[in-house]
Structure 1
Amino acid sequence: MTDLVLTDVSRWYGNVVAVNDVSMAIGPGVTGLLGPNGAGKSTLISMMAGFLEPSAGAVTLGGASVWRNVTAYKELGLVPEREVSFSYLTGRQFVAASAELHRLRDPRGATQAALEEVALVEAADRPISTYSKGMRQRAKLASALVHEPGVLLLDEPFNGVDPRQRMHLMELLTRMGEQGRTVLFSSHILEEVEHIARHVEVVVSGRHAASGDFGAIRRLMTDRPTHYTVRSSDDRRLAAALMGQPSVRSVALAAPTGTEEVHVEVTDMGDFARALPALARDAGITVRELRPTDESLESVFTYLVQS
């Protein structure tokens, strides 16, 4: 299999920069393209698929540019985030149309094989308009797989899919990666990526934030400085006790709406989680609330960019 390579790729719309100087190489196996909503993931996938021209840089497959390269589609399959436009077609008709467009020698057989691959045979002759979200996702996937591409790109494939359908899709993508295909899917949910992708590419605000083994990047996310709000039976004594903890970087007392609370910046969440109950118990303090204040994915990914 040939690698899909992005070299110094940027894309802008007037004064708005959607993707800024991104370089990465996607090879066989399953890769997760991870980042918060609005990070530029869809723009990157559109350029990888040859549907959007980079404003700068190049996207190549096997050394050849994918932009305006019709032959690249023999190796590329795309599952877009947007819904199927031809919902009046049956699932079989939709997949068969893709087989015809690829001028396959046996479009009927290829259509049947793709429907079987995604477990959509029983519903294949129903209109797509009657499908659930998960079934529509499988129809799009069958259409992308009908010509047996070596590279499969999926944009947020698990959005709106129920748990059973999600597990089926995850198993299917895992199996394709094990077969040696190059599979890249985008997601803004860490747990989705963790289940099936060992290699991840992280983007934030159009920039390439991290690349490599998911476990190593996940540890970076876990070990980042984290902010908590703590309320207790004696916030002043608790704040004084917390200042001596190795995992605590800073402590501040605040008084919203007349009641005190402690704001804590922590460098090691695990150590802090173990130390706080013991510390409060020894001091005779009751912890009434412990709330993380910067647990959004945006804050997690932004930390990676700034590291």
Structure 2
Amino acid sequence: MSVTSVEPSSAAATTTSRLDLSGVSRWYGNVVAVNDVSMSLGPGVTGLLGPNGAGKTTLLHMMAGFLAPSRGTVTLDGAPTWRNPEVYRRLGLVSEREAVHAFLTAYEFVLASARLHRLSDPAEAARRAIALVELEGAQSRRIGTYSKGMRQRARVAAALVHDPQVLLLDEPFNGMDPRQRLHMMDLLHRLGGDGRTILFSSHILEEVEQLSGTVQVMVAGRLAASGDFRTIRRLMTNRPHVFAVRSTDDRELAVALMAEPSVTGVELGRAGLTVRVSDYGAFTRALPKIAPARGIRVRQLVPEDESLESVFSYLVEA
């Protein structure tokens, strides 16, 4: 896979920007979408992680100046983002919602963005941005003929055309095939390494793990955890777990499991066992030893609390 080198402008290479949120909330009537969020984002790549409906999109729109905070402040290099068009000289946004005219070619779409930014050479800027996302071979095709992953790349090119110091991306990997995802991850890594401030949202743990060492975790509109990904991942893995277990002798297995230190409770029902454990790893290592030692065959072992909502919600209580 070929990778096009990033050619930052002198301003982008020497200037860094910082986004600061202080006590930010946003509500719609009686519905609170974002609740008292404070964070500071500087150069590098940061992941905004959380289940769907956690408030990630609302938060990104406030950072980009599309929404006014109901309470608190959002600033870019000390200046408020709301009602401040000047921030768009330094900021690019790729929203989750597609807003691309299908009749335009990718080149025309990115060129329009360059002209809106009043760049001195919009044609050259458009060509450079399209090369960054590896769409040169398809830039003359109408966007309506593109796959979802290709449309995403065209939108990223439009957001990068003015060489911003801050790039905000809402679920940027949606619809991308594995090759496109790898290229986009590499591009964001290099942009962050150049001193740009990159924030991308995702509900997929593996995407954040591969791309970002720093994570902001949102649950139900609140900032549930913040910091190094390895620490947050450890919190998620070490939380209490519930398993549904079925075997050839559920009653005998229940008795045996009660003696296992990692097991905190066992319930025997018609559908099998419900096993509560305090240590995911210890239990999954112990079960394959306990069952065969008693002549029991495990037919089913299914985590019952592995939804993203349950995983993230544990961080609120931790």
Interval containing the TM-score (normalised by the shorter chain): over 0.9
Q: In structure 1, the residue corresponding to 2:100 is in which secondary structure? A: coil
Superposed, 1:155-166 pairs within 5 Å as: 155-166=170-181
Deviation at 1:42? 0.4
Of 279, 284, 301, which residue of structure 1 is paired with 2:312? 301
Say whether the 8 Å CA contact 1:84–1:136 is kept in structure 2: no
User: C-alpha distance in 1, partners of 2:123/2:136?
Assistant: 13
Do residues 44 (structure 1) and 59 (structure 2) align? Answer: yes
Name the residue aligned to 1:193.
Answer: 208
Say whether the 8 Å CA contact 1:3–1:26 is kept in structure 2: yes
Deviations 1:232-274 (A, max 9, x none): 1111111111111111111111124xxxx11111111111011
TM-score by length of 2: 0.93
Q: In structure 2, the residue corresponding to 1:276 is in which secondary structure? A: helix
Name the residue aligned to 1:75.
Answer: 90
User: C-alpha distance in 2, partners of 1:116/1:147?
Assistant: 14
Deviation at 1:106? 1.1
Name the residue aligned to 1:172.
Answer: 187
Of 285, 288, 291, which residue of structure 2 is paired with 1:274? 285
Say whether the 8 Å CA contact 2:17–2:196 is kept in structure 1: no
Name the residue aligned to 2:276.
Answer: 265
Superposed, 1:11-90 pairs within 5 Å as: 11-90=26-105
List structure 1 segments (4+ residues) > 6 angstroms apart after TM superposition. none
CA RMSD of superposed structures (Å) = 0.9
Do residues 251 (structure 1) and 262 (structure 2) align? Answer: no
Deviations 1:170-209 (A, max 9, x none): 1111111111111110000111111111101000110110
User: C-alpha distance in 1, partners of 2:18/2:30?
Assistant: 32
**Structure 1: 5+ residue stretches without partners:** none
Say whether the 8 Å CA contact 1:225–1:267 is kept in structure 2: yes
**Structure 2: 5+ residue stretches without partners:** 1-15
User: C-alpha distance in 1, partners of 2:19/2:225?
Assistant: 18
User: C-alpha distance in 1, partners of 2:292/2:141?
Assistant: 63
Identity of aligned residues (%): 64
Q: In structure 1, the residue corresponding to 2:138 is in which secondary structure? A: coil
User: C-alpha distance in 2, partners of 1:103/1:69?
Assistant: 17
Of 282, 299, 303, which residue of structure 2 is paired with 1:288? 299
Do residues 96 (structure 1) and 107 (structure 2) align? Answer: no
Deviations 1:129-154 (A, max 9, x none): 11111111111011000110000000
Say whether the 8 Å CA contact 1:230–1:263 is kept in structure 2: yes
Do residues 150 (structure 1) and 161 (structure 2) align? Answer: no
Name the residue aligned to 2:17.
Answer: 2
Deviation at 1:84? 2.9
**Letter of the aligned partner of 1:295 in structure 2?**
E
User: C-alpha distance in 2, partners of 1:94/1:40?
Assistant: 29
**Letter of the aligned partner of 1:117 in structure 2?**
L
